[in-house]
Amino acid sequence: MDPIQLICDIGEINEVFTDARSIEAFLQKIVNMVARHLDAAVCSIYLYEEAKKELVLKATCGLETDYRDSIRLKYGEGLTGLALKELRPVYERVGKSHPKFKFIPGIAEEKFDAFLAVPIIRGISRIGVLVVQRENRREFKEKDIQTLRAVASQLANMLENARLLIYLKSGSIIDKKPRFRIPKVLKGKVASQGFAIGPIRIIDKDKNFETIEKRNFSKNYDINDFHKAIEITEHQLEDLQARVEEKLSDAASLIFTAQLLLLKDNEFVGTIGRKIEAGVSPPRAILTVTRHYIDIFSHGTNSYIKEKVKDIEDLSIRLLGNLVTEITDLYKCKDHIIVAKELFPSDILRLSSEQALGVVIVTGGVTSHLSILARSLQIPMVIIDSQKLFSVQDETRALLDAETGNLYINPLPEIISKISNRNLAKIRISSKKGQLQKHTYTKDGQRIRLCTNINLLSDISLARKIYTDGIGLYRTEFPFLIRNDFPSEEEQYVVYRRLIEKMPGKEITFRTLDIGGDKVLSYFDWTKEQNPFLGMRSIRFSLSNKELFRQQIRAILRAGIGASIRIMFPFISSVEEFLEAKTTVNQCLKELHQMKIAHNANPKIGIMIEVPAVIPIIDNLAKYADFFSIGTNDLIQYILAVDRTNEKVADLYVPHHPAVLRSIKLIADSAIRHNIGISVCGDMAHQKLYIPFLLGAGIHELSIDASFFPTVQNFISKLDLPDTQILTREALKAEKISEIAKIMT
């Protein structure tokens, strides 16, 4: 087996992970596996204790030591410490002769010659170092270095969780809530269309760990019941993970790793077991130990560590649900309509894996990325600004109509019948639509490129059913948003490569990481900002975290081998900013070439136009860019100073405002003048009111969600390009919004 294939064969790592019965056993199996694949005499894993600034040997094969935890290196000490400090592989043909080599008595390390250390990093976090050694002057080749880097990247997620758990070893009254008279119908805002009938599950209270702590458990349970609950819980989590990976390969980084590792942790399970044997009831023992872990994690200053509180709470509830008959259904989300106050993207992913019917978010607004994610997962979602929903009893029957935004409580049979028939009729009409044309043309024969927006790999199945001209926008942030930590370069590579392989022959536009504003990573320490939409977001975040940015660019370039790819930077506001981002791409290209790693050497590089500041300098940017893509959603909100997620000013968010239309025309004219690509990938691209204006402005490429393809292609086929040009000229002359509305309608 070619060792480099190890990075793409997560199956072997999964097998090692599943078979291991403790964290220590897992680490030992990993070093054995890596040593075997690299034909190395020694393989060691050092984990980094940030508080002490020390690397600690946690697992090894080939060294003569039984005192792993006692072998410590200061940050930057020895060749191993150097690799972590400088975040680069350190290779020496004869390690012991290097002045930085750290001699450690008693482990017989000096008898080995070739020394290779690779840092293990997760996003911007230093996790540890993976070290391999050979004897008899058997050298490591460049391919070995790349393989070890890939393995370190693939293992980073698991090892980060293992490190947190290892670090820990060192170191029935329900709250009353106001009762309301519940209306029969609650009106909300549609976030993701669909239809669901089923019982309600209120996540806000039933998954509250403090509520469960106050319960009294009447039945007696013993240690055997506890071990059986662990076994059942482990199988449940493994099944959930398998279903997530089958449905969303973007999430192949084992989102349930933290919980599975806790079940393998001798300290966690052993402490609970000892309390049970000392006479504490199993439910109370689980709650007591869980509370200890929660308190430790909650007092941390790191967002990633605090995020683990949710994993621990979820695990304890699952364990209790499999142990205590009184709360068997406590965690049940399958076939339920979920009502919650706040959800992260990772929560939406979990609800999808647990087969929830639909989601109601109880708040005044919704972030766009939650809506996009729910649509990709085909989960109906409605946002309702009413605290009354939290007074609804669990298991109350409801009908979620995410076409109109209504939630019906205990719906009457005639309501169910009426809405069910409406949806069946809609499905029948959709199925009778004529076949899509292979290419999109206006009535007078002008070719229009109609491309697809992709959020998750699950969107590809629909995109493959239509005759798309390419992927006009792949939102690379979603593999970041749906995880609990940064995806590594290797994980990104696998996702990007699958996208390319499933869309052969199609040009694909990768928008680099677009986070910040309303798209906040729960596991990253964001500094509180007064105006997050104007703060550290998108390309600003990438340029401030160059190592993360380089990992993403390298993954895109490597995945793009043999394909036509475009790299697009979001939120560019100056020529300098664009050139700095472009320089990073060129540096990655040079590095991959020097290392002889297969990659796409000729990507097109462009800009997502969404910051008004670039409009006066659009000709300057056009000299350096291969294409422009207008992100109308953000461009409109910044031109008009209107938060598009704020319902109080929603009426002011008007795409046909004269300033918006004239800005779009200026951008299009510049692109045409400089002979570079121009497209629109925002909501205006699929709205019938605005498509004629865009075509008349000279924009002949639109990128839309696949679900809009039939409607948009059919609409374009009825337009004459000369007529759209007349409409555009008239709209640009108009002074008032009301005048433009009449012209467009």
Hey, which residues are catalytic here? 369, 681
* Beta pairing, strands 358-361 & 337-340: parallel
Q: Report the alpha-carbon distance of residue 251 to residue 247 in Å, rounded.
A: 9
- The Cβ of residue 710 has, within 10 Å, a number of other Cβ atoms equal to 15
* Beta pairing, strands 440-441 & 447-454: antiparallel
- The Cβ of residue 598 has, within 10 Å, a number of other Cβ atoms equal to 11
CA separation (Å) from 590 to 147, 551, 564, 576, 695?
19, 14, 19, 21, 39
Its sign, for the CA torsion 55, 60, 63, 65, is positive
Q: Report the alpha-carbon distance of residue 404 to residue 509 in Å, rounded.
A: 33
Tokens of 229: 């609950």
Query: 65 Cβ partners below 8 Å, 6+ apart?
Result: 57, 71, 106, 107
Nearest 5°: the CA angle 455, 460, 462 is 110
CA 221 to mean position of chain CA atoms: 40
Nearest 5°: the CA angle 619, 621, 626 is 105
Tokens of 636: 């409109």
CA 299 to mean position of chain CA atoms: 26
Closest CA to 389 of 634, 593, 187: 187
Q: Own/partner pairs for 720-726, CB < 8 Å, 24+ apart?
A: 720/442, 720/443, 720/444, 721/442, 721/444, 721/446, 721/695, 721/696, 722/444, 723/692, 724/442, 724/692, 724/693, 724/695, 724/696, 725/696, 726/696
Q: What is the DSSP string of 642-658?
A: --TT-GGGGGG--TT-H
Q: Report the alpha-carbon distance of residue 293 to residue 306 in Å, rounded.
A: 11
Tokens of 142: 């460049």
In the chain, what are the helix, strand and coil shares in percent, each to the nearest 5?
50, 15, 35
How many residues comprise the chain? 745
Secondary structure class of 46 (helix, strand, coil): strand
Secondary structure class of 147 (helix, strand, coil): helix
For helices 737-744 and 658-673, the axis angle rounded to 10 degrees is: 70
> If DSSP states are collapsed to H, E and C, what string results for 422-467?
HHHHHHHHHHCCCCCCCCEECCCCCEEEEEEEECCHHHHHHHCCCC
Beta bridge partners of 77: none
Closest CA to 410 of 200, 204, 202: 200
Element (H, E) at 677: strand 677-680
Classify residue 440 as left (phi > 0), alpha (psi -120 to 50) or beta. beta
Which residue type does 411 have? P
Are 108 and 63 within 8 A, CB to CB? yes
